[in-house]
Amino acid sequence: MANTSPFNHRSSADDVLRNQNLSGQVIIVTGANTGIGFETARSLAAAGATVIATCRSTEKAAATQKRLMLANPASTVETAVMDLSSLASVSDFCNGLAHSKIDVIICNAGIVAPKYGETKEGFEQTVGVCHVGHFLLVKKLMPRLLSAPAPRVVMVSSESHRVPPRLNFDALPYPESQFRPMKSYGQAKLCNALMAMELQRRFADQGLTACYVHPGTMVTTDIGRDSAIVRFAMWLVSPFTKTASQGAATSVFCATWDDRSELGGNYFSHCARAKPSVETANVGVAGRLWELSERWLKEKGYSGN
């Protein structure tokens, strides 16, 4: 497995972007109000990109805008409300976006739901937020991505994509009777990986590069916001794991690394290619998930176009 990256698990997002000039690039980062998402947005803005940082609420967006501008007063940052648990919110964000060209979408936002819950449209919330919301986002913005000279989509997956080892279409999204928090999360992260693979297969010939990443284990983030147990566990291990900036490094690396041929359709961890689960290479599963996701959108009145 070839790897020409000079970075490793200790590298920060700022290390990856040192001496880079991203002026002219428009980059969307979802879940940018805290943790990995914030550091991803902050570092890209500091390198000159126009960063659109999406947050779940008006209050979070305003606070994030203030923090990002304090970090880099000369940067170009826009914050916007987009709640991935609402297809209407995702659609409104896309429709209201002023930019005709999008260079990169970093699908960073996620959630580990401790108990069964549903999104606004009735999807199990972990899969709904991590996969369905991002699927609509990328579908609706695809024409703007393809108008960029070298567009990219970076899916923030996880090592959890390995468990369960196969995508269970009979439990997707998880029905309440079968719901288990970490299995649902694993399915959602596997969906992220498969979505990246299918994006690469469908749109590589139009210039798109798609890949998926593992940011690091138990990195400080807001992903466990609904679970006191997850929050406590993350606090407990925080002295022994990556900082938020180190957790953002792999996303930033995949958004900016010059050799796009090394990135497309691949899995990255610690700013280097890594070996994913066998299931991610299953073209039939990736295609079936794509078609199912399109059907879900259509059933809810969202074509994704």
- Say which CATH number the domain at 37 has: 3.40.50.720
pLDDT value at 63 more than 70: yes
Total domain count for the chain?
1
Catalytic site residues?
Answer: 185
pLDDT value for 303: 78
pLDDT value for 72: 96
pLDDT value at 13 more than 90: yes
Contact present, 97 and 27 (Cβ < 8 Å):
no
Classify residue 67: in a domain, yes or no.
Answer: yes
Q: What's the mean pLDDT when you consider all of the chain?
A: 92
pLDDT value for 145: 98
Mean pLDDT of 45-72: 97
Classify residue 37: in a domain, yes or no.
Answer: yes
pLDDT value for 18: 97
Classify residue 1: in a domain, yes or no.
Answer: no
pLDDT value for 45: 98
pLDDT value at 284 more than 60: yes
Phi, psi dihedrals of residue 124, rounded to the nearest 5°: -55, 135
pLDDT value for 217: 75
Phi, psi dihedrals of residue 126, rounded to the nearest 5°: -65, -50
pLDDT value at 142 more than 50: yes
* Gap between the Cα atoms of 257 and 262, Å rounded: 9
Classify residue 8: in a domain, yes or no.
Answer: no
pLDDT one-digit tens code per residue, 203-257 = 999 999 999 999 997 555 555 545 555 554 444 444 447 999 999 999 999 999 9
Classify residue 6: in a domain, yes or no.
Answer: no
pTM above 0.75, yes or no: yes
Classify residue 132: in a domain, yes or no.
Answer: yes
Least confident of 56-70, 102-116, 229-243: 229-243
pLDDT value for 237: 44
- Return the sign of the alpha-carbon dihedral for residues 263, 265, 270, 276: negative
Question: What does the DSSP assignment read for 88-100?
Answer: HHHHHHHHH---S
pLDDT value for 236: 44
* Gap between the Cα atoms of 7 and 107, Å rounded: 22
pLDDT value for 232: 47
Beta bridge partners of 268: 213, 273
DSSP 175: P
pLDDT value for 266: 98
Classify residue 7: in a domain, yes or no.
Answer: no
Mean pLDDT of 78-104: 98
Q: Quickly tell me which residue has 């078609």 as its tokens.
A: 291
In the chain, the percentage of residues whose pLDDT exceeds 90 is: 88
pLDDT value for 4: 74
Classify residue 305: in a domain, yes or no.
Answer: no
| Domain ranges, residue 260 | 13-299
